[in-house]
Amino acid sequence: MLGYMFLTITLFTIGELALLIYVGGLIGFWSTLGLVLLTAFVGASLVRNEGTRALIKIQKELSMGRVPASAMLDGIAIMLGGAFLMTPGFITDGIALIMLFPLSRAIIKAFFIRRCRSWIERQQVHVSHIHVAPNFDPQPTVEDAHWGQPQSPYDDGNVIDITPESSDDSTP
């Protein structure tokens, strides 16, 4: 696996350099440098705007009590796009811009979600369970307190504590 990653990164870097040299030969060094800087500035502006939009969307979803999965995927794509923008070159700038535009990002998100569902359906992704000791008693925090207000139609504010008994008959 590590060998494939090294090979991929090496070939990607060689391709990036070859494209920079080729474009530099066509339009000249200064024009190529200007084009790389222009894409970096445009991309940085997109990162700032789209990142702010994603954060607002995450906060809105959280305030409504929903999991902001879609907005978080947007945020991840925007961060990856920003990382690609920090790498000079046309290939990385192109990938970054694809990740930063909302329409192309939506297509990437849909592909990623379909791919994850496929992995889960084929059971290629295994979810492990978290085991808690039987006598584990977490202390409630201020955030956990409901201040006596019912949180659902089934919650009347009363708490019934049920402690399971051991079914092991070997103990006296």
Q: What is the per-residue pLDDT for 144?
A: 47
Q: d(Cα 98, Cα 15) in Å, to the nearest integer?
A: 19
Burial zone of 170 (CB within 10 Å; 0-12 exposed, 13-18 middle, 19+ buried): exposed
Asked whether the whole model's pTM tops 0.85, one would answer no
Averages of pLDDT over runs of 10 residues in the chain (172 residues) are: 87 92 94 89 87 91 88 91 87 89 90 85 61 48 48 54 59 52
